[in-house]
Chains A and B, each alone.
Chain A
Amino acid sequence: METEFTHNVKFKVSLSNGETLYEGKGDYKEIENELSPWQRLLLYTSTNNLEITSLSLYTDNGQTFNLPSAGKNPKFKIWGELEQPLDYNLFRMIAKEKDFNNGVIGEDVIVDWFTGIEAIYPTHKLQLWINECNTQNCWVCIVNL
């Protein structure tokens, strides 16, 4: 489904039963008037007593952005030796403003549009923010809880 807000940045998630699921594929495509792919994933995990063991973002041109894993055998080995997240979350933020040119108020223009993921620890959250308008740009934040 093509909309004004078709995402360039999508989630990829691994679950405690070994499944790996991708936003935009299979059961996790955007469907008008239904729960979002992320909400459907959360429903699936709670209904089936599953945990998210890793969360990353990907783009169709092959970029990936990875949070630390909570799995038993992460591909990036260092993560297996470090404190593992308790949980994960996905968020999206968008800001629009009116185009204003020569005294004429025009169309709405997107000024900021991010997809973000966070790894939740006992005392803080580690966030990755990706710019949907230019996926070459990524920021990391640590938020104290």
Chain B
Amino acid sequence: MKTNTTYTALEVLKELNTNFKFGEEEYTPEEVFGKGRIVIAGIRGIVDPKDLIKIQSKTTKLNIVVGVKAYELKVEADDEEYTITEEAQKVKEEQKPTEIVEETKEN
């Protein structure tokens, strides 16, 4: 993970290279959203794998909590240019409002 870069929440969890347990059930990173508590960099209520996480400059580590387990991801400094991953860019494109191509007709 690098500073000054935007990732999706799914990409962040995949970096941990592990599955996650809630009680007796085990989930892959793709399955875990909406099953229990996920906190990334202090942001609570991460329930959507497409939530966007921007790692700010000067960050050295990312604290992540899934269920009751806490994890730490090391972050490399890369502040020269802002970047966004391909997956995060796709999510941003999906969020753009639809362009209206027909004018409303008057009654």
Contact = CB atoms under 8 A, between A and B. Distances in A.
Contacts of A88: 44
- State the majority secondary structure of interface residues on B: loop
Interface of A: 16, 42, 46-47, 49-51, 86-89, 118, 120-123, 125, 145
B46 to A, nearest CB: 9
Contact of A145 (B45, B63, B65): B45
Given A51-B37, A87-B37, A87-B39, A120 B47 contact: yes
A49 B45 CA distance: 17
Contacts, number: 44
A46 B63 contact: yes
B92 interface: no
Nearest to B64: A46
A2 B63 CA distance: 33
A51 B38 CA distance: 11
Interface of B: 33-39, 42, 44-45, 47-48, 63, 65, 67-70
Contacts of B63: 46
A125 B45 contact: yes
9 contacts: A42-B42, A49-B68, A86-B34, A86-B36, A86-B45, A89-B45, A120-B44, A120-B47, A122-B47
Pick from B36, B45, B68 the residue with the most CB of A within 10 Å. B45
Contacts of A145: 45, 47-48
A121 B44 CA distance: 11
